[in-house]
Amino acid sequence: MIELKHVSKTFDSDSGGVDALKDVSLTIEDGDIYGIIGMSGAGKSTLVRCINLLEKPTAGEVVVDGQRLDTMTPAQLRAARREITMIFQRFNLLMQRTCLQNVCFPMELSGVKKADAVRRAKELLELVGLPDKAQAYPAQLSGGQQQRIAIARALATQPKVLLCDEATSALDPNTTHQILELIRDINQKLGITVVVITHQMSVVKTICNHVAILDGGVVAEKGLVSEVFAAPKSAAGRRLVFPGGADALVSDPQAVRRVRLTFRDSVTTGTPLVARLASEEGILCTVISASTQKLSEEVYGSMLLGIPSGQFQRAMDYIDTMSNIRVEEVDGHVQ
Ligand SMILES: Nc1ncnc2c1ncn2[C@@H]1O[C@H](COP(=O)(O)OP(=O)(O)OP(=O)(O)O)[C@@H](O)[C@H]1O
């Protein structure tokens, strides 16, 4: 289990301190795939670097597998870091070494005998689907293949935790999908806990079970991906899940009040709500935006309606009678 308890990180800069993380508390269970998402500058990289103590928190505790990392000696920390490995957006492979030598490298550092290291490296190249690239150099590989080698190298010390810092951000959508499949496969086969840092919703939706949304160094909300993404409660969550600030331009806030409806399951998403409001209640709403998404094999719908101000309460009472629909009024900025 990874536990961050009231972690804060302040960087010194010429113009004063920068509070990159403010009182962040998170628990990531063993074997989970946990996404940390947020806009640029939200503190994602700082957070992930605090998990393996590449950054030392200014305050708070980092506990991995029951061991408190932030009070360890450098030697203890080096040993603990073998269990917490990391992959990066730019792969960070050693370009003068072959793929096999890259995968052997962390084993060399930790004193594994050469023959054993080579045997394990070959198994890992097999696991990531590139057994034939052992003697190739990184520059001879595509970005997706380089990330596979980086994953093999990260697994060389038999870690318990794999940290992925924007690991697919430099890849095209198809390759991204393949790498995410590989990470999920490794999580299932080896039981490794995975922490995914990303600014892409699609990445979190594809592989994560849980997610925390970071905003300005603070955890704005956290929970199951299906729950957070179906009905985000925080302003930062709504900005991520329902982008489209232009919505505010397409209806007159003086004449209509806006509500966001979120639906769960295919029966509810199939309900002709707008038509029923019109035919049964005589309320003519405008649909400002609407979408459906699939999360964890469930279908979720979201619709932003403009309801004529004079009929607002009647419409809300009617919608309240329907099951599996969550309704909330949103302000003029449509968050
Ligand atoms: N070494 C540093 N010195 C000073 N400020 C820093 C340092 N590292 C990060 N920061 C600041 O901390 C804040 C959080 O940065 P961080 O890189 O963690 O965000 P991020 O969410 O990962 O952003 P991005 O998605 O753009 O990488 C930013 O304001 C950044 O400028």
Q: How many distinct structural domains can be found in the chain?
A: 2
240, part of any domain: no
The answer to whether residues 196 and 279 belong to one domain is: no
The answer to whether residues 143 and 27 belong to one domain is: yes
64, part of any domain: yes
Domain finish residue from 235, 266, 300: 235
Ligand 1 within 6 A of 40 CB?
yes
Place of tokens 């993404």: 229
96, part of any domain: yes
Ligand 1 within 6 A of 89 CB?
no
Amino acid at 107: M
Can you give the pLDDT at residue 327? 85
251, part of any domain: no
250, part of any domain: no
Can you give the pLDDT at residue 335? 45
261, part of any domain: yes
CATH number at residue 102: 3.40.50.300
The answer to whether residues 191 and 271 belong to one domain is: no
- DSSP letter for each residue of 300-315: EEEEEEEEEGGGHHHH
How many helices (H) and strands (E) in the chain? 12, 14
The tokens describing 115, both together, are 């023959």
219, part of any domain: yes
The answer to whether residues 194 and 108 belong to one domain is: yes
133, part of any domain: yes
Can you give the pLDDT at residue 255? 77
Can you give the pLDDT at residue 246? 43
What is the domain range of residue 151? 2-235
CA distance 25 to 34: 14
Return the beta strands (E) in the chain as ranges. Answer: 2-13, 16-28, 33-38, 59-64, 67-68, 84-88, 161-165, 193-198, 210-215, 218-224, 256-264, 286-295, 298-308, 325-329
Domain finish residue from 235, 269, 290: 235
The answer to whether residues 119 and 267 belong to one domain is: no
pTM of structure: 0.84
The answer to whether residues 124 and 14 belong to one domain is: yes
CA distance 282 to 265: 27
The answer to whether residues 122 and 172 belong to one domain is: yes
Q: Whose CA is nearest to atom 11 of ligand 1?
A: 20
Beta-carbon contacts of 332 under 8 Å, excluding residues fewer than 6 positions away, are 248, 253, 258
Beta-carbon contacts of 239 under 8 Å, excluding residues fewer than 6 positions away, are 39, 335
The answer to whether residues 260 and 127 belong to one domain is: no
**Mutate which of 14, 18, 51, 214 to test ligand 1's pocket (most atoms within 8 Å of Cβ)?**
18
Domain finish residue from 177, 202, 235: 235
If one counts every other C-beta atom within 10 angstroms of the C-beta of residue 68, the result is 14
Can you give the pLDDT at residue 249? 57
Can you give the pLDDT at residue 264? 73
CATH number at residue 302: 3.30.70.260
**Mutate which of 37, 45, 56, 163 to test ligand 1's pocket (most atoms within 8 Å of Cβ)?**
45
For residue 219, is it left (φ>0), alpha (ψ between -120 and 50) or beta?
beta
pLDDT in tens, the chain (335 residues): 999 999 999 999 888 889 999 999 999 999 999 999 999 999 999 999 999 999 999 999 999 999 999 999 999 998 888 899 999 998 899 999 999 999 999 999 989 999 999 999 999 999 999 999 999 999 999 999 999 999 999 999 999 999 999 999 999 999 999 999 999 999 999 999 999 999 988 999 999 999 999 999 999 999 999 889 887 888 888 888 877 654 555 566 677 888 888 877 666 666 788 888 888 888 888 888 887 777 766 777 788 888 888 888 998 898 888 877 888 888 755 44
* Nearest partner of 24 among 38, 1, 8, judged by Cα: 8
Ligand 1 within 6 A of 138 CB?
no
The answer to whether residues 320 and 204 belong to one domain is: no
* Nearest partner of 236 among 44, 8, 4, 25, judged by Cα: 44
What is the distance in A from the centroid of ligand 1 to the CA of 58? Answer: 15
